[in-house]
């Protein structure tokens, strides 16, 4: 991705997934407390770089552990408050975090790949334009979410299998957030 090619400026919004992109994804479990939250290498530096590129940074995250009763909304909000503070202390910023507590089986419009969180973000930020937004995530649901709203999509993964299977869903692929941040 070349910012000159896309002409990314402060009018653009960056949407980021959380687990597997910002923090280490827990195998067969959910990050339930701040003590379990671990930033991936280079993420804090990336967030500082993104602050200088994008006008707005929004995190969108499916958190069905709440729907399963494994953690509460209060637990998730506490994790997000700590995460935002750490990112801010490192020189980055997060303008908003939206999450979906619903089970996948519920079929909620708020759960990615459905676009409820994007619509909620636009309601909060009326000047937000999806055609001037980038969705960076590590799953197919993140990519579909981005495409359904007209965003550019960036797969954050060292595994190129998804990109080969779903080339129309994925505009760019980078092994991690820091590589992506240096490419724009």
- Annotated catalytic residues are 17, 19
Pick from 111, 44, 34: nearest CA to 80: 34
Pick from 132, 58, 148: nearest CA to 99: 58
Pick from 134, 118, 125, 130: nearest CA to 5: 134
- Residue 12: partners with Cβ closer than 8 Å, 6 or more residues away: 53, 54, 55, 56, 132, 133, 134
* Dihedral angle over CA of 163, 164, 168, 173, nearest 10: 30
């Amino acid at each position: 991705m070349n910012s000159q090619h896309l002409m990314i400026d402060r009018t653009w919004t960056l949407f980021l997934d959380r687990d597997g992109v910002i923090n280490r994804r827990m195998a067969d479990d959910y990050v339930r407390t701040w003590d379990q939250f671990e930033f991936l290498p280079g993420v804090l530096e990336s967030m500082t770089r993104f602050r200088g590129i994008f006008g707005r940074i929004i995190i969108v995250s499916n958190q069905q552990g709440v729907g399963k009763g494994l953690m509460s909304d209060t637990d998730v909000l506490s994790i997000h408050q700590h995460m935002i503070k750490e990112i801010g202390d490192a020189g980055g910023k997060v303008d908003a975090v939206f999450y979906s507590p619903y089970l996948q089986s519920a079929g909620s419009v708020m759960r990615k790949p459905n676009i409820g969180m994007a619509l909620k973000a636009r309601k909060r930020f009326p000047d937000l334009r999806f055609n001037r937004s980038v969705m960076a995530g590590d799953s197919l649901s993140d990519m579909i979410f981005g495409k359904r709203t007209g965003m550019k999509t960036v797969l954050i993964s060292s595994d190129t299998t998804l990109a080969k299977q779903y080339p129309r869903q994925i505009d760019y692929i980078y092994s991690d957030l820091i590589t992506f941040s240096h490419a724009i």
